[in-house]
């Protein structure tokens, strides 16, 4: 029997530039057992170049070992004769977070006046209010937890089913946390991953993903700084600009590093965690300033703003390299003991 209301827990994540990673962390951070895995990952970055144009910078993508994901095609739910509401509520009652593609036009939180497909995650419902609890990058691309009515969700879903928008992969992804999985923090892996990050190395072999070691047109780690400098140049010259998210990524990456340093210090993996944390806090504030510069330029174009952003970006790159070299040295001293 379906409950009157049920909301699965989410905890606001340090990474919000891309909804898929934000959703994963929102789920994981509710369980302290996942912290060793979280802080052993989300280190490396990558940028893909397509037809001479580089796309957005993002974290190196790896499957989350803590999550179990079952896919149910839209067509199967339709043939079972169940309604969308029954399916979503029963899935949530079984402990599943449900991620699928809808037409964003019908969900008020997006605040858009055009039709386009986008993933959304449903993590709760309230039958008395006839509302769902949802998570995504909504208004202005900001990740948040919102609500929508049953009717809005049905309209958004049916718009995809009826092909008013093109949905490439019409499935419900049922996401749940594995109960018996275990993972120990891997200090040696983290040290090597940080080294690969500052040397712009392909990290695929560290992740035992040999099939990706020969990927073409990909750049890694600190190559992100050249990409971001190029993005600012493109803005100055009114050329291709991939958007604000890559600059949000820079802030998110540094926020994750701060959390990782705090975790490693509290867990005894770092000797001088307070110094590393203090140094990274300075960088993090500068990353926030750069993001503000890009937003300011979008509202009131002035190349002087971009010149300041470029200068600050160079400072961040130089500072982060020095801090990470010291951090890696600290980690390797702990490994050798």
* Same domain? 147 vs 205: no
Q: What confidence category does residue 206 fall into, taking pLDDT thresholds of 50, 70 and 90?
A: low
| Confidence (pLDDT) at 121 | 98
Residues in the chain: 337
Of the candidates 6, 8, 33, the one whose C-alpha atom is nearest the C-alpha of residue 23 is 8
Measured distance CA(27)–CA(98) in Å, rounded: 12
Domain-located, residue 24 = no
Measured distance CA(202)–CA(196) in Å, rounded: 7
| Number of domains composing the chain | 2
Domain-located, residue 113 = yes
Average pLDDT value over all residues in the chain: 91
Q: Which of 9-13, 58-62, 220-224, 318-322 has the lowest mean pLDDT?
A: 58-62
CB 234 within 8 A of CB 243: no
Domain-located, residue 17 = no
Secondary structure of the chain as H, E, C letters: CCCCEEECCCCCCCCCCCHHHHHHHHHHCCCHHHHHHHHHCCCCEEEEEECCEEEEEEECCCCCCCEEEEEEEHHHHHHCCCCHHHHHHHHHHCCCEEEEEEEHHHCHHHCCCCCCEEEEEEEEEECCCCEEEEEEECHHHCEEEEEEEHHHHHHHHHHHHCCCCCCCCCEEEEEEECCCCCCCCCHHHHHHHHHHHHCCCCCCCCCCCHHHCCCCCEEECCHHHHHHHHHHHHHHCCCCCCCCHHHHHHHHHHHHHHHHHHHHHHCCCCCCHHHHHHHHHHHHHHHHHHHHHHHHHHHCCCHHHHHHHHHHHHHHHHHHHHHHHHHHHHHHHHHHC
| Confidence (pLDDT) at 2 | 82
pLDDT tens readout for residues 266-303? 999 999 999 999 999 999 999 999 999 999 998 999 99
Domain-located, residue 29 = no
* Same domain? 165 vs 301: no
CB 321 within 8 A of CB 197: no
Domain-located, residue 22 = no
* Same domain? 124 vs 225: no
If you average pLDDT over residues 220-229, what whole number do you get? 92
Measured distance CA(337)–CA(327) in Å, rounded: 16
* Same domain? 237 vs 321: yes
* Same domain? 42 vs 159: no
Domain-located, residue 73 = yes
* Boundary (domain end) residue, out of 177, 212, 240: 177
* Boundary (domain end) residue, out of 155, 177, 199: 177
Domain-located, residue 16 = no
Domain that holds residue 304: 35-63+181-336
Measured distance CA(185)–CA(39) in Å, rounded: 7
* Boundary (domain end) residue, out of 162, 177, 192: 177
Measured distance CA(176)–CA(96) in Å, rounded: 5
Q: What confidence category does residue 178 fall into, taking pLDDT thresholds of 50, 70 and 90?
A: very high
Tell how far CA 24 is from the center of its chain. Answer: 8
* Same domain? 167 vs 41: no
* Same domain? 188 vs 329: yes
Query: For residue 294, what are the CA distances in angstroms to 245, 302, 332?
Result: 10, 10, 37
* Same domain? 72 vs 95: yes
* Same domain? 108 vs 125: yes
Of the candidates 223, 247, 228, 222, the one whose C-alpha atom is nearest the C-alpha of residue 324 is 222
Of the candidates 301, 296, 260, 332, the one whose C-alpha atom is nearest the C-alpha of residue 25 is 260
**pLDDT of 4 over the 60 cut:** yes
* Same domain? 143 vs 205: no
* Same domain? 101 vs 188: no
| Confidence (pLDDT) at 241 | 79
CB 258 within 8 A of CB 251: no
**pLDDT of 207 over the 50 cut:** yes
| Confidence (pLDDT) at 211 | 47
| Confidence (pLDDT) at 54 | 57
* Same domain? 166 vs 218: no
Domain-located, residue 274 = yes
**pLDDT of 210 over the 50 cut:** no
At 131, which CATH number?
3.90.70
If you average pLDDT over residues 103-118, what whole number do you get? 94
């Amino acid at each position: 029997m379906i409950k009157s209301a049920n909301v699965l827990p989410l905890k606001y994540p340090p990474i919000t530039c891309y909804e898929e990673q934000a959703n994963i962390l929102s789920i994981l951070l509710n369980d302290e057992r996942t912290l060793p895995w979280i802080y052993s990952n989300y280190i490396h970055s990558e940028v893909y170049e397509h037809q001479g144009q580089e796309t957005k910078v993002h974290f190196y993508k790896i499957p989350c070992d803590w999550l179990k994901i079952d896919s149910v095609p839209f067509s199967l739910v339709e043939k079972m004769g169940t309604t969308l509401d029954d399916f979503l509520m029963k899935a949530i009652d079984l402990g599943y977070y449900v991620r699928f593609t809808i037409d964003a036009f019908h969900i008020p939180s997006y605040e858009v006046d055009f039709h386009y497909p986008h993933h959304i995650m449903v993590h709760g419902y309230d039958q008395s209010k006839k509302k769902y609890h949802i998570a995504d990058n909504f208004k202005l691309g900001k990740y948040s937890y919102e609500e929508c009515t049953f009717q809005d969700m049905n309209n958004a879903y049916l718009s995809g089913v009826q092909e008013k928008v093109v949905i490439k992969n019409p499935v419900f992804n049922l996401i749940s946390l594995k109960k018996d999985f275990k993972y120990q923090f891997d200090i040696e892996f983290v040290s090597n991953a940080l080294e690969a990050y500052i040397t712009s190395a392909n990290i695929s072999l560290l992740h035992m993903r040999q099939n990706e070691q020969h990927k073409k047109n990909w750049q890694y780690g600190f190559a992100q700084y050249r990409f971001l400098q190029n993005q600012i140049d493109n803005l100055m010259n009114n050329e291709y600009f991939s958007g604000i998210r890559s600059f949000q990524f820079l802030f998110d990456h540094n926020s994750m590093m701060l959390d990782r340093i705090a975790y490693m210090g509290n867990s005894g993996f770092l000797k001088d965690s307070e110094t590393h944390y203090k140094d990274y806090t300075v960088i993090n504030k500068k990353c926030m300033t750069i993001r503000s510069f890009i937003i300011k330029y979008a509202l009131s174009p002035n190349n002087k703003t971009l010149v300041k952003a470029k200068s600050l970006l160079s400072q961040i790159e130089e500072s982060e390299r020095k801090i990470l070299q010291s951090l890696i040295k600290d980690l390797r001293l702990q490994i050798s003991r």
